[in-house]
Amino acid sequence: MEVKDIAAMLDKYPDIKARLKEMLEIVEGPSHGEFSSVDAIEERTIGVVRSIGKDLIQNWAAQQSAQTSAHIQNRMPSAKKNIKKKSIGTAPLEK
């Protein structure tokens, strides 16, 4: 995979692209005097990695949901989605 392919893929996922940029800033941080200790770098890195994991899972879930919806729509074209159910009212309370 070439750099341009990776860049094109990252353009589809701006949230992940931003997290990777944060990681690169961490790598360059010590040369700019941004971090005063290893603990600070570790804490920031852990936060960014967790954020990347969260973003990856959310993107995956959205793709799975769209894929499942498309599959169901193809199998059952008459299926209706996102329609509010109409209530028949509330049951009377017993005395």
Q: pLDDT for 25-48, tens place per residue?
A: 888 876 666 667 888 888 888 999
Cβ neighbours of residue 45 under 8 Å, at least 6 residues apart?
23, 26
d(CA 53, CA 23): 13
d(CA 85, CA 83): 6
pTM over 0.85: no
Domain residue spans in the chain? 3-72
Q: Directed axis angle between helix 38-75 and helix 14-28, to 10°?
A: 170
pLDDT tens column, 3-31: 899 999 999 888 889 998 988 888 887 66
Contact 55, 15 (CB under 8 A): yes
